[in-house]
């Protein structure tokens, strides 16, 4: 997920901090990433076609945490598949 090598590239301009420091601010969240992680908690149910909202609850846990610290979350849904990411999407499906 994301841009390969981005975190090591940003390491020198990053610092550890407490989430309270962002109180009163606004953050944009890659919702696709959170939903993807949340699906792991209920993958079997989804595969079997059973109703579940565990992946939504996963996302809501983090949204509620941000709200608790007075941080305004903006959820970004990236929409359609990008032709430029076609090979990446194919590789991701191969892991399943």
Rounded Cα distance between 4 and 57, Å, is 28
Over its C-alpha atoms, the chain yields an Rg (Å, rounded) of 16
The pLDDT of 18-31, averaged and rounded, is 95
Rounded Cα distance between 19 and 92, Å, is 31
Q: Is the predicted pLDDT of residue 80 greater than 90, yes or no?
A: no
Going from N- to C-terminal start, the domains of the chain cover: 30-77
Give 7's pLDDT tier (boundaries 50, 70, 90).
confident
Q: Which carries the bigger pLDDT value, residue 41 or residue 93?
A: 41
Q: Is the predicted pLDDT of residue 73 greater than 70, yes or no?
A: yes
Whether the pTM exceeds 0.75: the reply is: no
Residue where the block lists tokens 């109180």: 23
Rounded Cα distance between 36 and 77, Å, is 12
Give 96's pLDDT tier (boundaries 50, 70, 90).
low
């Amino acid at each position: 997920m994301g841009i390969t090598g981005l975190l090591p590239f940003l390491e020198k301009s990053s610092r550890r901090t407490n989430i309270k420091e962002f109180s009163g601010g606004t953050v944009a969240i890659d919702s696709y990433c959170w939903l993807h992680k949340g699906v792991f908690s209920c993958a079997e149910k989804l595969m079997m076609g059973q109703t579940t909202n565990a992946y939504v609850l996963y996302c809501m846990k983090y949204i509620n945490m941000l709200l608790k610290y007075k941080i305004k979350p903006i959820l970004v849904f990236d929409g359609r598949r990008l032709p430029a990411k076609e090979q990446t999407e194919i590789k991701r499906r191969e892991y399943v």
